[in-house]
């Protein structure tokens, strides 16, 4: 078990409805930043997820969220500044 942090466009990452991040958008961000291949983030159900991210990974998540016009939210609903 672990703690997930999500990049999402929905009001809350767990919401059933809202604007998804498409796999094509995620793949485009990865293609533009080859360093993302080594970062523990993955696309899942319209959002990007990282399990137990370090501060360095959260910093990279901020960059990705900005590129995707999204926000970062933890499992418990807290938001991280982007």
* Terminal Cα distance for the chain, rounded: 26
Q: For 8-51, how does the pLDDT look when each residue is reduced to its tens digit (9 = 90+)?
A: 999 999 999 999 999 999 999 999 998 888 899 999 999 999 99
Transcribe 56-79 into DSSP letters. HHHHHHHHHHHHTT-EEEETTS-E
CB-side exposure of 74: number of CA atoms within 13 Å?
11
pLDDT of residue 58: 96
> How is the chain split into domains, by residue range?
4-80
């Amino acid at each position: 078990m672990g703690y997930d942090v999500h990049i999402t466009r929905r009001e809350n990452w767990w919401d059933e409805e809202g604007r998804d991040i498409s796999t094509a958008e995620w793949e485009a961000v990865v293609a533009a930043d080859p360093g993302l291949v080594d970062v523990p983030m993955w696309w899942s159900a319209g959002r990007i997820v990282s399990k137990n991210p370090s501060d360095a990974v959260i910093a990279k998540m901020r960059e990705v969220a900005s590129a995707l016009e999204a926000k970062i939210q933890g499992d418990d609903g807290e938001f991280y500044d982007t």
